[in-house]
Amino acid sequence: MRLGAVVVTMGNRPQELRALLDSVAAQDGDPVEVVVVGNGSPVPDLPAGVRTVELPENVGIPGGRNAGIEAFGPAGRDMDVLLFLDDDGLLARTDTAELCRKAFAADPRLGIVGFRIADPASGVTQRRHVPRLRASDPMRSSRVTTFLGGANAVRTEVFRQVGTLPAEFFYAHEETDLAWRALDAGWTVEYRSDMVLHHPATAPSRHAVYHRMVARNRVWLARRNLPAPLVPVYLGVWLLLTLLRRPRPAALRAWFGGFREGWTTPCGPRRPMKWRTVWRLTRLGRPPVI
């Protein structure tokens, strides 16, 4: 099984990037081919054998990862599975690539595997990094309905069947969009606690665009993927949850600006999931109204 890896960087973490690439090179089994995408910035000096793509401007996280996918041929066809790894992460074990090979070989309908993210200093996995509602036990592997964008593996046949990441999202919720499309096409998504990426514990709100992008893309996610009756329910629940969390006034203003933008701007093609997919998501513990 041919494995490749896509790493997107803005060139501002050269030491962390080198450590990540060293951890990929140290994987057991056949070598993992790596593409590093410079997202609007030059790529720093890299080890021999690492391929590079330099984009003239920052096209966002999903756009950068899509460029990495295409570096392996249309929809990544030169590889069987692609790993997507944050440039400040580190594969904690040397058997992660082999675990991926075995998982995808054992289940032909396995489309996406999400890794467990752990803080390198404390070993703690933040609750928000467990992609399910029952997140109290990060050591429990399970089938899920979404995954973490910077620590995962995707069978490239998924891209060929349902398309790549939604580049227009730029940042936030692009993984759920892909996961929902994959689930609707009959693929499964798994969270694996034994596949670990070490990553510093940080808050997503450190990104200046966080609140606006999260709100806008939440609306786009619903408009693109949900049956029409569920769109207002899903977004109404998220509006209520946002208000209950009592964000700072500036954050709330940005959130409402993004929410409005999500309704008034194009979101890409609409392909509502089947009702049986809604039921499947519900059986997996995450009905698409929560």
- Residue ranges of the chain assigned to CATH 3.90.550.10: 3-202
pLDDT for residue 150: 96
CA pair distance 220, 256, nearest whole angstrom: 14
pLDDT for residue 247: 87
- Residue closest to 144 by CA, chosen among 195, 190, 193, 111: 190
pLDDT for residue 156: 98
* Beta strands 188-198; 90-91: pairing state: antiparallel
Cα dihedral 149, 290, 258, 274 sign: positive
pLDDT for residue 58: 97
pLDDT for residue 206: 54
CA pair distance 194, 139, nearest whole angstrom: 8
* Local confidence pLDDT in tens for the 290 residues of the chain: 999 999 999 999 999 999 999 999 999 999 999 999 999 999 999 999 999 999 999 999 999 999 999 999 999 999 999 999 999 999 999 999 999 999 999 999 999 999 999 999 999 999 999 999 989 999 999 999 999 999 999 999 999 999 999 999 999 999 999 999 999 999 999 999 999 999 998 776 555 588 999 999 999 999 999 999 999 999 999 999 999 988 899 999 999 999 999 999 999 999 999 999 999 999 999 999 98
CA pair distance 212, 101, nearest whole angstrom: 38
pLDDT for residue 205: 58
User: Which CATH number does 3-202 carry?
Assistant: 3.90.550.10
- Residue closest to 192 by CA, chosen among 100, 284, 281: 100
pLDDT for residue 209: 82
